[in-house]
A and B are shown apart, each in its own frame.
Chain A
Amino acid sequence: MKYLDEFSDPVLARRLLDQIHAATTKPWAMMEVCGGQTHSIIRHGIDQLLPEGIELIHGPGCPVCVTPLETIDKALAIAAQPGVIFCSFGDMLRVPGSGRDLFTVKSAGADVRVVYSPLDALELARQHPDREVVFFGIGFETTAPANAMTVHQARRLGIRNFSLLVSHVLVPPAIAAIMESPSCRVQAFLAAGHVCSVMGTAQYPALAAKYRVPIVVTGFEPLDILEGIRQTVVQLEAGRHEVTNAYPRVVPAEGNVPARAMLEDVFEVADRTWRGIGTIPASGWRLSARYREFDAEERFAVGEIRTDESPLCRAGEVLQGHIKPHECAAFGKECTPRNPLGATMVSAEGACAAYYAYRRLDLVEVGT
Chain B
Amino acid sequence: MTTVDFSAWSCPVPLRDTPAVVMGHGGGGAMSAELVEQLFLPAFGAAGAAELGDSAVVEAGGARLAFSTDSYVVKPMFFPGGSIGDLAVNGTVNDLAMSGATPLFLSTAFILQEGTDLAVVGRIAQAMGLAAAAAGVRLVTGDTKVVDSASGDGVFVNTAGIGLLAPDVEIGPRRARPGDVVLVSGDIGAHGIAVLSCREGLTFGTSVLSDTAPLAGLVAAMLRTGGDVRALRDPTRGGVAASLNEIARASKVGVSLVERDLPVPVAVRDACSLLGLDPLQVANEGKLVAVVAAESADEVLAAMRSHPLGAGATVIGECVAEHPGTVVARTALGGNRVISLPIGEQLPRIC
> Is there an interface contact between B347 and A45, defined as CB atoms closer than 8 Å?
no
Contact A349 B351 (CB under 8 A): yes
Is the Cβ of B340 less than 8 Å from the Cβ of A361? no
Closest A residue to B330 using CB positions: A45
Q: Is B8 an interface residue (CB 8 A)?
A: no
Q: How far is the CA of A277 from the CA of B349 in the complex (A)?
A: 24
Partner of B331, one of A1, A45, A139: A45
- Which partner residue on chain A sits nearest B260 by CB separation? A10
Question: Which B residue sits closest to A354, measured CB to CB?
Answer: B337
B201 touches A358 (CB 8 A): no
Using C-beta atoms within 8 Å of the partner chain, give the interface range for chain A.
35 or more
CA distance A107 to B334 in the complex (A): 42
The closest CB in chain B to the CB of A358 belongs to B337
A153 close to chain B: CB less than 8 A: no
Asked if residues B270 and A339 are in contact (CB atoms below 8 Å), the reply is: no
Q: Complex: how many Å from CA A37 to CA B340? A: 20
Known: A361-B328, A368-B11. A45 touches B343 (CB 8 A): no
| Min CB gap B255→A, angstroms | 12
- Asked if A23 lies at the interface with its beta carbon under 8 angstroms from chain B, I say no
A92 to B323, alpha carbons, bound, how many Å?
A: 32
Interface 9-mer from A111-119, A227-235, A295-303:
A111-119
A276 to B348, CA, bound (A): 25
Contact A361 B349 (CB under 8 A): no
Q: Measured between alpha carbons, how far is A334 from B16 in the docked complex, in Å? A: 13
Interface SS of A by simple majority: helix
Verify A334–B12 contact, CB threshold 8 A.
yes
Does the CB pair B326–A49 fall under 8 Å? no
The reply on A43 being an interface residue by CB < 8 A is yes
Min Cβ gap B62→A in Å is 37
A366 touches B326 (CB 8 A): yes
Residue of A nearest to B20 (CB): A107
CB within 8 A of A104: which of B12, B18, B349?
Answer: B18
Q: Give bound CA distance, A338 to B342, whole Å.
A: 10
Contact present for B326 and A361 (CB under 8 Å): yes
- A357 contacts B337, CB within 8 Å? yes
Select one of A49, A106, A337, A357 contacting B334, CB under 8 A: A49
CB-CB under 8 A from A64, the residues of chain B are 350
List residues of A (223-282) whose CB comes within 8 Å of B's CBs. none
CA distance A357 to B14 in the complex (A): 18
Q: Does A36 contact B (CB under 8 A)?
A: yes
Of the candidates A1, A36, A48, A116, the one whose C-beta lies within 8 Å of that of B335 is A48
Among candidates A93, A108, A339, A358, residue contacting B347 with C-beta atoms closer than 8 Å: A93
Q: Say whether A90 contacts B276, CB under 8 Å.
A: yes
A1-B273, A91-B347, A103-B22 as given contacts; A44 in contact with B14, CB under 8 Å: no
Chain A nearest CB from B238 CB (Å) reads: 14
Main secondary structure of the interface of B (DSSP, over half): loop
Cα A16 to Cα B24 in complex, Å, equals 42
B: contact size bracket? 35 or more
Q: How far is the CA of A24 from the CA of B333 in the complex (A)?
A: 20
Cα distance A139–B276 in the bound complex, in angstroms: 16
Pairwise interchain contact A339-B336, C-beta atoms closer than 8 A: no
A120 and B22 CA atoms in complex are apart in Å by 25
Most buried by B among A64, A93, A143, A358: A358
B47 contacts the other chain (Cβ, under 8 Å)?
A: no
Point out the residues of chain B lying under 8 angstroms from A107, CB to CB: 18, 20-23
Q: Does B31 contact A (CB under 8 A)?
A: yes
B202 in the interface, Cβ–Cβ < 8 Å?
A: yes
> A103 to chain B: which residues have CB within 8 Å?
22-24
CA A348 to CA B344, docked complex, whole Å: 14
**Contacting pair B333 A91 (CB below 8 A):** no
Task: Chain A residues near B347: list those with CB within 8 A.
Answer: 90-91, 93-94, 114
A46 at the interface (CB under 8 A from B): yes
Report whether A46 and B335 are in contact in the complex, using a CB–CB cutoff of 8 Å.
yes
Q: Given contacts A45-B334, A48-B336, A222-B333, is CB(A90)–CB(B12) below 8 Å?
A: no
Which residues from 320 to 350 on chain A have a C-beta closer than 8 Å to any C-beta of chain B? Answer: 333-334, 336-339, 348-349
Least Cβ–Cβ distance between A330 and chain B, in angstroms: 10
Query: In the complex, A124 Cα to B325 Cα: how many Å?
Result: 44
Query: Which of A115, A116, A337 has the most B CB atoms < 10 Å from its CB?
Result: A116
Q: What is the minimal beta-carbon distance from B21 to any residue of chain A, in angstroms?
A: 7
- Report yes or no: B338 in contact with A359, Cβ–Cβ below 8 A: yes
Alpha-carbon separation in the docked complex, A42 to B14 (Å): 26
Name the A residues within 8 Å of B344 (CB-CB): 338
User: Is the C-beta of B168 less than 8 angstroms from some C-beta in chain A?
Assistant: no
B30 at the interface (CB under 8 A from A): yes
- In the assembled complex, the CB of A247 is this many whole angstroms from the nearest CB of chain B, namely 15
Contact A338 B337 (CB under 8 A): no
* A292 on the B face (CB < 8 A): no
Interface string of A348-364 (1 = CB under 8 A from B): 11000000011111000
Q: Nearest Cβ distance between residue B277 and chain A, in whole angstroms?
A: 10
Q: How far is the CB of A64 from chain B (nearest CB, A)?
A: 7
B17 touches A89 (CB 8 A): no
Determine how close the nearest CB of chain A comes to the CB of B207; give it in whole angstroms.
15
Indicate the member of B23, B30, B326, B337 with the most A CB atoms within 10 Å: B337
Q: In the complex, what residue of chain B is closest to A35 when comparing beta carbons?
A: B351
Least CB distance, B36 to chain A, in whole angstroms: 14
A45 near B336: Cβ-Cβ < 8 Å: yes
Asked, given contacts A116-B201, A116-B202, whether A339 binds B349 with beta carbons under 8 Å apart, the answer is no
Query: CB distance B201 to A113 under 8 Å?
Result: yes
B293 to chain A, nearest CB (A): 26
The answer to whether A348 touches B338 (Cβ under 8 A) is no
| A291-313 contact mask (Cβ, 8 Å, vs B): 1 or 0 | 00000000000000000000000
Q: How far is the CB of A249 from chain B (nearest CB, A)?
A: 18
A338-B14, A338-B30 are known contacts. Are A114 and B335 too (CB-CB below 8 A)?
Answer: no
Across the A-B interface, give the 3 residue pairs with the lowest CB-CB distance, nearest first: A45-B335, A90-B347, A358-B337
Can you list 15 contacts pairing A with B, beta carbon distance less than 8 Å?
A: A8-B332, A8-B333, A35-B351, A48-B335, A63-B350, A114-B201, A114-B348, A115-B202, A334-B12, A339-B17, A348-B276, A348-B350, A359-B338, A361-B328, A366-B325
Residues on A facing B (Cβ under 8 Å):
1, 4, 8, 10, 13, 35-36, 42-46, 48-49, 63-64, 89-91, 93-94, 103-104, 106-108, 113-116, 120, 124, 139, 143, 222, 333-334, 336-339, 348-349, 357-361, 366, 368
